[in-house]
Amino acid sequence: MVMTMDVRLLRIDSRLLHGQVTTNWAKTLHVNRILVVSDRVARDLIRKTLIVQAAPLGIRANVITVEKMIRLYHDPRFDVLKPMILVEDPVDAKSVVEGGIKIDSINIGAISFDNTRVMVTDTIAVNAADVEAFKWFHDRGIRLDVRKVSNDSSKNLWKSLSEKGLV
């Protein structure tokens, strides 16, 4: 039987690793690694260093590219990992799942507003590429779970996107 790493959470949050993630999700999900998956951050030594230093006590954080995440997931030597995967945007999340990483829901924390995005909820702003990625997840039956922390009530992002006329 082929084993793969046990991905405990795939979370989209433009802030990546921050207090709520470290204190709540990591403990609730009993993760043993936090994997920040971003080609942009992996090339940015300052951001990479700050993220690794922000890891909660007892849990290592690594910053890796999308391609490396896919390689590690399919490598049996990393089956012991029970990671939380953090990405900055829905497009990176889609790339990870297209690479074979199995999930049945995706958690969306916050996506920062900029002049290319429209607000969908009080903490989530999307652009056309984000909407396409969310549609791709929805079409595959992957739940779009909006929660800041694990004990918040779950909201379905698809409903918010529909109400805004974006899908």
Q: Which residue has the tokens 């942009």?
A: 40
Give dist(CA 82, CA 15) in Å, integer: 21
Q: How many CB atoms lie within 10 A of CB 83?
A: 26
- Residue 149 in 3-state DSSP? coil
Task: Copy the structure tokens of residue 77.
Answer: 């030597």
| Bridge partners (DSSP) listed for residue 111 | 124
Of 17, 1, 37, the closest CA to residue 109 belongs to 17
136 vs 141: CA distance, rounded Å: 9
As annotated, the active-site residues are 18
Strands (E) across 43-139 are located at 60-64, 83-87, 105-108, 118-119, 125-126
